[in-house]
Amino acid sequence: MDARLAQFETKMQKSLDNLLSEFGGIRAGRANPHVLDKLRVDYYGTPTAIQQVANVSVPEPRMIQIQPWEASLVKEIEKAIMTSDLGINPTNDGKVVRLVFPELTEDRRKEIAKDIKKKGENAKVAVRNIRRDANDSFKKLAKSEDISEDEIKSLEDGAQKLTDKYIAEIDKAVEEKNKEILTV
């Protein structure tokens, strides 16, 4: 692959990776420890990921158990979960914080499916913007360097092929996540 195209493929891959990590944080009625990835707790004045200060496990399909290495962190973890947008109230017994995920209602599943579609559309827009940037850079290249129209056309075709490839992958990811959400 042309080095001039490779940089744009890297950006498109990052857009896809970002979408997949967002999907990891969407809960589908089953407990998924990745919903805690963005949460931080105050650990001696430093915002720290929950996974770095506690043992996170999934003892049951709809429960996450968080066992902090220091008992003083139980309240901090509980506070971080309650102020987040998870929409789950944690319970604790002084040593362990438990998150019980309620079964999703049909309406909530449809709402989440819409959100997944929206995130997918945003990722597609990002990929198309990268294609536009690529084409703009190829046009500038044509003006500044001694490069044939055929080479420019070839680079633009390459950018289009990359765009098609990543849009297809985004569609596939959206479809899989929707199927996961809508399966009861």
Examine the fold and report which residue of 78, 100, 122 is the final residue of a domain before the chain moves on.
100
- For the chain, what is the domain count? 2
H or E element in which residue 92 lies: strand 91-92
CATH number of the domain enclosing 132: 1.10.132.20
Structural domain for 135, as ranges: 3-24+105-182
- Measured CA to CA, the distance from residue 179 to residue 184 in angstroms comes to 10
- Measured CA to CA, the distance from residue 112 to residue 178 in angstroms comes to 8
Residues 57 and 96 in one domain: yes
Q: Side-chain half-sphere of 132: how many Cα atoms within 13 Å?
A: 6
Residues 78 and 41 in one domain: yes
Could you read off the pLDDT tens digit of each residue along the chain, which spans 184 residues? 678 888 999 999 999 999 988 887 776 666 778 778 888 888 888 888 888 888 988 888 888 898 998 888 888 888 888 888 777 788 888 888 898 887 778 888 888 889 899 999 999 999 999 999 999 998 888 888 778 888 889 989 999 999 999 999 999 999 998 888 887 6
- Measured CA to CA, the distance from residue 170 to residue 33 in angstroms comes to 23
Residues 118 and 166 in one domain: yes
Q: Side-chain half-sphere of 57: how many Cα atoms within 13 Å?
A: 6
